Structure 1
């Protein structure tokens, strides 16, 4: 039986995060269903999994998938990014003659990395990309944001190496929350009501400074050492029944071929 909260539909590919979220959902009385079998897809779901599988099932599930705009990072004031970032195309990026960090804005069509020149970028069709200055992150944190509030979070790297540690009780917790609260008070309306926000501690010639790494879909993010029960609240909102989609979030709803989930 589906609860009033609906049920949690998982993409068939197993991840530790999907396992943690499923356990949290069951503890609150939600049904959990791993998709991909012979059973027909049913509506009333919340979704967690990759975008490629979501494109196949979101319409039948009746799910509205919230995500930040592709150019969000490039529109932020320099005070929040600590580096120059432009929205461009892969064909333009291939003309770069200097090192730059290049990444797809949302789809993982090629590795996000520092490329010595544009000729080192992988082959593939032209697509939107973000190009930014090369910087060093002393530490990076993943934050689950719901209605402008950080619900939980986790450090996930130090100097580019995986180093998961809960935000709660972390030596940088107060600084992380202060920076994020300031960011959300200024730019929060430019993000979905449920989103994953990555911020980090930049090392510069003048010391260190907090900056935004990127924003991501909560329904396709690793929770690392964040509290999965608190993370689940953000995930459920980020990919829930389109019948509950608010007017505020309509512009952040991913278009699914053959459906208008924002309508």
Structure 2
């Protein structure tokens, strides 16, 4: 029986997914001291939580977490993105013209944002090596943002989480992207609308560390069942 292993602390979205998981007759283990995990049947474990929680337990238990490639946006043609995205070293990003949007290639090493000056980025990335790969792009504005859950090359749930949008139109765009790109068996795809361009991919993230942002918790549970493997 699949066992969802998740942090003990309460979280509204995560709790909704846990309820959906239990509703399928599957088991749940909520861990407080996750750095001292109990004995678990490795083949049954499915992880869901923040990055530190999931990455630590995956390493401890010898599991693989299914995630989109860190450099996915660098592989995608600009027509899907609506902006120019480059991969550069952190040291080189500090030499760019500002303001500029910067995010880490490896998710959540620092705050993804538009930085007005090199000193702002330098302050945000204290402690990171100069050769850390980051993604930089010109500053554009998404007037709306839609979260899509992808499972086996299909958009299985979608919801607007910023602004106002036609979800069906967003899904059509997302489905076109999914059919054109082999990314992962399950993942989160965020898309948004750029005035003068149209729909564009914002980013792709791992299901095991993502929030619902309005998507169906029942479908999230089905996606999570595929997101951890031995």
Calculate the TM-score normalised by the size of structure 1: 0.79
Q: 2:175 aligns with which of 181, 192, 203?
A: 181
Residue 133 of structure 1 and its aligned partner are, at CA, apart by 1.2
Q: Does 1:235 align with 2:224?
A: yes
Whole-Å Cα distance in 1 between the matches of residues 60 and 37 of structure 2? 13
Aligned to 1:135: 140
Residue 87 of structure 1 and its aligned partner are, at CA, apart by 1.2
Q: 2:127 aligns with which of 114, 124, 128?
A: 124
Residue 218 of structure 1 and its aligned partner are, at CA, apart by 0.5
Deviations 1:159-217 (A, max 9, x none): xxxx8xxxxxxx61221121112111211x1x11110000001123xxx5000000000
- The answer on whether the counterparts of 2:146 and 2:167 sit within 8 Å (CA) in structure 1 is no
Whole-Å Cα distance in 2 between the matches of residues 88 and 39 of structure 1? 38
Aligned to 1:33: 29
- The answer on whether the counterparts of 2:158 and 2:215 sit within 8 Å (CA) in structure 1 is yes
- The answer on whether the counterparts of 1:135 and 1:203 sit within 8 Å (CA) in structure 2 is no
Residue 62 of structure 1 and its aligned partner are, at CA, apart by 4.5
What 5-or-longer segments of structure 1 have no aligned partner? Answer: 164-170, 243-263
Whole-Å Cα distance in 2 between the matches of residues 120 and 59 of structure 1? 33
Q: 2:193 aligns with which of 192, 201, 220?
A: 201
- The answer on whether the counterparts of 1:197 and 1:215 sit within 8 Å (CA) in structure 2 is yes
Calculate the TM-score normalised by the size of structure 2: 0.89
Aligned to 1:89: 89
Q: 1:214 aligns with which of 181, 188, 203?
A: 203
Query: Is 209-218 or 88-97 further displaced after alignment?
Result: 88-97
Whole-Å Cα distance in 1 between the matches of residues 17 and 54 of structure 2? 17
Residue 59 of structure 1 and its aligned partner are, at CA, apart by 3.6
Greater than 6 Å deviation, 4+ residue runs: none
What secondary structure does 1:9 align onto? strand
Residue 135 of structure 1 and its aligned partner are, at CA, apart by 0.6
What secondary structure does 1:237 align onto? coil
Alpha carbon RMSD of aligned pairs, Å?
Answer: 1.8
Q: Does 1:111 align with 2:111?
A: yes
What secondary structure does 1:101 align onto? strand
Whole-Å Cα distance in 1 between the matches of residues 90 and 215 of structure 2? 34
How many residue pairs align between the two structures? 221
**Residues 9-88 of structure 1 aligned to structure 2 (within 5 Å):** 9-37=5-33, 40-42=38-40, 43=42, 44-88=44-88
